[in-house]
């Protein structure tokens, strides 16, 4: 499968030396993206390569609700949409409350969902619709 162009990242749910997973906009559709792991390197591919997957409707709604909680309780540091809407990080009490409600162990597992496309280059979604 060849790489596609025109992917805009909306927000990140995971980051490690670069985006790892989150929501992207491609051809007007909100799709989940996740970085490809290279077992031989024991690291993300270099350059980092991503896969696009379509979430079930109810899972997309759930992930967007979690993201809205993150914006409200932690801040918009994981957002790549509407840069003028940047909210400073929340206080430690609010941040801790978010992670109590949404622990990292509850992260979505998308590996059984079909890969629709791959990409290596992306843009910020400054003009993308609100998440």
Report pLDDT digits (tens) over 3-60: 999 999 999 999 888 899 999 999 999 999 999 999 998 988 888 899 999 999 999 9
Q: What are 125's strand-pairing partners?
A: 81
Question: Phi-psi category of 20—alpha, beta or left, where left has phi over 0 and alpha has psi -120 to 50?
Answer: alpha
If you average pLDDT over every residue of the chain, what do you get? 86
Which pLDDT score is estimated for 82?
60
Among residues 54, 97, 105, 39, the alpha carbon closest in space to that of 73 is found at 97
Does the pLDDT at position 1 exceed 80? no
Do residues 31 and 54 touch, judged by C-beta distance below 8 A? yes
Do residues 35 and 94 touch, judged by C-beta distance below 8 A? no
d(CA 104, CA 85): 25
- b/e code 98-114 from CB counts within 10 Å (16+ = b): beeebeeeeebebeebe
Please enumerate in sequence order all residues whose Cβ is within 8 A of that of 60, keeping only pairs 6 or more positions apart, or say none. Answer: 30, 32
Does the pLDDT at position 128 exceed 60? no
Which pLDDT score is estimated for 123?
63
Which pLDDT score is estimated for 2?
76
Which pLDDT score is estimated for 131?
46
Do residues 8 and 29 touch, judged by C-beta distance below 8 A? no
Does the pLDDT at position 88 exceed 80? no
Residue 72's pLDDT band, with cuts at 50, 70 and 90, is confident
Q: Is 4 exposed, middle or buried (0-12, 13-18, 19+ CB in 10 A)?
A: middle
Residue 104's pLDDT band, with cuts at 50, 70 and 90, is confident
């Amino acid at each position: 499968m060849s790489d596609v162009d025109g992917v805009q990242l909306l927000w990140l749910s995971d980051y490690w030396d670069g985006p790892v997973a989150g929501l992207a906009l491609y051809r007007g559709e909100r799709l989940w993206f996740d970085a490809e792991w290279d077992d031989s390197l024991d690291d993300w591919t270099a350059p980092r390569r991503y896969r696009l997957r379509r979430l079930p409707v109810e899972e997309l709604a759930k992930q967007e609700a979690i993201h809205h909680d993150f914006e409200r309780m932690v801040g918009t540091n994981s957002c790549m949409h509407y840069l003028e809407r940047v909210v400073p990080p929340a206080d430690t009490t609010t941040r801790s409350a978010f992670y109590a409600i949404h622990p990292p162990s509850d992260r979505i597992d998308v590996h059984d969902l079909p890969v629709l496309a791959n990409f290596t280059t992306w843009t910020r979604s400054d003009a993308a619709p609100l998440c």
